[in-house]
Structure 1
Amino acid sequence: MSAQSQTEPSGRDERKAPSGRKRRLVIVVGLIVLCAGAVAGAIYYWHSRFYESTDDAYIQGHPINVSARVSGNVMGVYVTDNQRVSQDTLLVEVDPSDYQIRVAKAQAAVQSSQADEEKAAADVEASRAEWTKQQQDWQRNEELARQGAVTEQTLEHSRAAARTAQANLKAAGRNLASVRGQTAERLAAADEARLELSYTKIHAPEAGYVTQKSVEAGVYVNVGQPLMAIVTDDMYVIANFKETQLTHMRPGQPATVTVDAYPGVVFQAHVDSIQAGTGATFSLFPPENATGSFVKIVQRVPVKIVFDEPADPSHRLVLGMSARPKVRVGGTDKQ
């Protein structure tokens, strides 16, 4: 009996030992979870205090629409869809034949007007010389008439001749002015014809990528008809932040941008400007809240975020990409 009673407590002690270890393990795990939760809460508080971010953001840019400035048949299209082009690259050429003829006709008209102008100028000089001569004859005959050397009839004839010469001089001057005006008009017409001829060659206004190409060789294009668009390298982000996120947001604050296309790649940027109106205000059908029922909805305000450096060619950004900007709004406590 005594031996059995001595062995029983030792067995109970052995069973209690694993139970104690399990309790300590649970406590340790609980403390770890509690610490992790505290750290996560601190990070979340710190992040929510100093940063604002949104998923409602997209890459935007400045696509330039390229249109025909003269009408005619397209002789050649020298670019393809999504091709990278430099500034002044020849994109499209319209048949210049008609415009070359217009230039030739305009230049011939200018030459004719210039010849008429030279003749009119010579007529003015001749009329001025004649008027000078008749004026001198009149003055001389007036002196002779006072001396009785010429008759009154001769004097009157000299006076009439001088007045006629003066009238002819004025008429020649008016004709020269008219011819000069005609020459100026024809010079302007020639310049316009040369300008239209230059429009037959359509060049890239800026460097970028060809998109929305809708022209092919052989088709007829009209003035103003869209041919393609050039998407430039000037990219930025339009982020639609909630109005409650704008309390401490200001232009110039630093930001980072990530895009879904390049996980792990962070683009440095900054806030450029905040739109002076919510997105709903400038929509096609702005909300009308002057009704009997009203539900308050947190509005979103577009914020323009500009990249600090051009995008790496290996991480090309395109219009419409989804982005996630994060703006550092400072350490001021939010109200």
Structure 2
Amino acid sequence: MTGKRNKYRKTDRLITAITGWIAGIILVALAVWGISTLFELRRYEETNDAQVEEYINPITSRVTGYVSRINYEENQDVKKGDTLLVIDDSEYVLQEQEASAALTNARAQIQVLESNVTTTTKTAEGTQAQIAAAKAKLWKQQQEYDRYKNLYDAESATKQQLENVQTALDVAKADYASIVNNYDAAVSKINDTRSQKAALMAEIQRREALLGRNQLNVSYTVIRAPYDGKMGRRTIQEGQLIQAGQTMAFIVNQATGKWIIANFKETQVSKMHIGQPADIEIDAFPGKTFNGTIESLSPATGARFSLLPPDNSSGNFVKIVQRIPVRIKLINAPGEISLLRAGMNATVSISKRNG
């Protein structure tokens, strides 16, 4: 019995010793972790409310129609000017042809008016010659009438002869007046035709603009990549009807690069400034540190840019620490930055010594 008791006592002492050592190691580790954490907190401002950002823009249609061909796949790299999809342009081509025919017709009417002006001008010139002849005839008849009037007054001519000469004079006057009126009418017609030409020129400009708009509509049926980028999720199919303004796809703009948006507490940004270096850890790449510099600080808190900004004067007030978005430019090699994807979570640390 005594031997067994001694054996149990040795086992208890051994367990107690091991437990003590383990507890001591844990306490030392916690102390080291606590001191390290306090040291880091004194040296760095840190936030894990940060994400990788890059411009993701929608591809929208400017016309209504059925999708006839799709030339991209999800997550495909595209270059600026690449054809992404084609919309059936049959209706728009017909509208373009109709506008082109109307423009051709209007231009033909201009030629008709110009021909009318030329013809009427020649008519007026011929009428001017007739006016000169009628004027000479009228002068001759007037002389004849004056001579017979003198003869009649001297009783050397009969009244019948005077009346015949008077009639001839009246006819000459009427002919002259008629030819002058014809000339005035020709000149007026020329002016009217020129006025019609001015109005038709304005109509031609309107039809040219209409044709240009129809040509634009035809060009809008071919949707191209606006810049180098990477396509997002594909949500449309061939044969699908799309409306003008409808979003058909999203493209990630790789030309503008990537950056980090870190949302620091308002109590952390007092000493931050543009150009200050930052260390970035991406959750997707543990153990790897990316480098960056502060590019800008938001002019307002994130809440102020929300759809419904808070109004503290409208009810009970509860003070909440606000966040200030800080934009950080990545300065790593392009190959390293290309590994990042928009929306990835990050942890950003900024040294207080550089404040």
Q: TM-score, normalised by structure 2?
A: 0.72
Report the equivalent of 2:193: 172
How far off its partner does 1:134 sit?
4.1
Q: State how far apart, in whole Å, the 1-side matches of 2:112 and 2:100 are.
A: 19
1:1-335 to structure 2, matched below 5 A, reads: 40=36, 44=40, 47-48=43-44, 52-134=45-127, 151-233=172-254, 234=256, 235-290=258-313, 293-308=316-331, 311-312=334-335, 315-328=338-351, 331=354
Q: What SS does the aligned partner of 2:68 have?
A: strand
Contact 1:113–1:179 (CA<8 Å) still a contact in 2?
A: yes
**Larger Cα Rg: Structure 1 or Structure 2?**
2
After superposition, the C-alpha distances for 1:221-273 in whole angstroms (9 at most, x for unaligned) are 22222111101123222211111222122233333433111223333332222
Consecutive unaligned residues of structure 1, counting only runs of 5 or more, are: 1-31
Q: What SS does the aligned partner of 1:153 have?
A: helix
How far off its partner does 1:328 sit?
4.9
Report the equivalent of 1:6: none
Q: State how far apart, in whole Å, the 2-side matches of 1:219 and 1:41 are.
A: 57
What is the RMSD computed on CA atoms of the aligned residues? 3.4
Q: Give the residue type in structure 1 aligned to 2:285.
A: Y
Q: State how far apart, in whole Å, the 2-side matches of 1:263 and 1:241 are.
A: 21
Q: What SS does the aligned partner of 2:312 have?
A: coil
- Structure 1 residues 295 and 70, CA gap change in structure 2 (3 angstroms): closer
After superposition, the C-alpha distances for 1:267-310 in whole angstroms (9 at most, x for unaligned) are 33322222221112233443332367544332111122233467
Q: Give the residue type in structure 1 aligned to 2:232.
A: T
After superposition, the C-alpha distances for 1:203-232 in whole angstroms (9 at most, x for unaligned) are 111221211321111222222221111011
Q: State how far apart, in whole Å, the 2-side matches of 1:64 and 1:47 are.
A: 39
- Of 125-134 and 211-220, deviating more is 125-134
- Structure 1 residues 133 and 316, CA gap change in structure 2 (3 angstroms): farther
Contact 1:75–1:217 (CA<8 Å) still a contact in 2?
A: yes
How far off its partner does 1:141 sit?
6.4
Q: Give the residue type in structure 1 aligned to 2:228.
A: A
Higher share of residues assigned helix: 2
Q: What SS does the aligned partner of 1:161 have?
A: helix
Q: Give the residue type in structure 1 aligned to 2:235.
A: S
Q: What SS does the aligned partner of 1:54 have?
A: strand
Q: How many aligned positions are there? A: 298
- Structure 1 residues 320 and 135, CA gap change in structure 2 (3 angstroms): farther
Q: What SS does the aligned partner of 2:302 have?
A: coil
- Structure 1 residues 330 and 127, CA gap change in structure 2 (3 angstroms): farther
Q: State how far apart, in whole Å, the 1-side matches of 2:229 and 2:330 are.
A: 17
Report the equivalent of 2:146: none
Q: What percent identity do the matched residue pairs reach?
A: 27
Q: Give the residue type in structure 1 aligned to 2:283.
A: D
How far off its partner does 1:146 sit?
7.5
Q: What SS does the aligned partner of 2:296 have?
A: strand
- Structure 1 residues 314 and 325, CA gap change in structure 2 (3 angstroms): closer
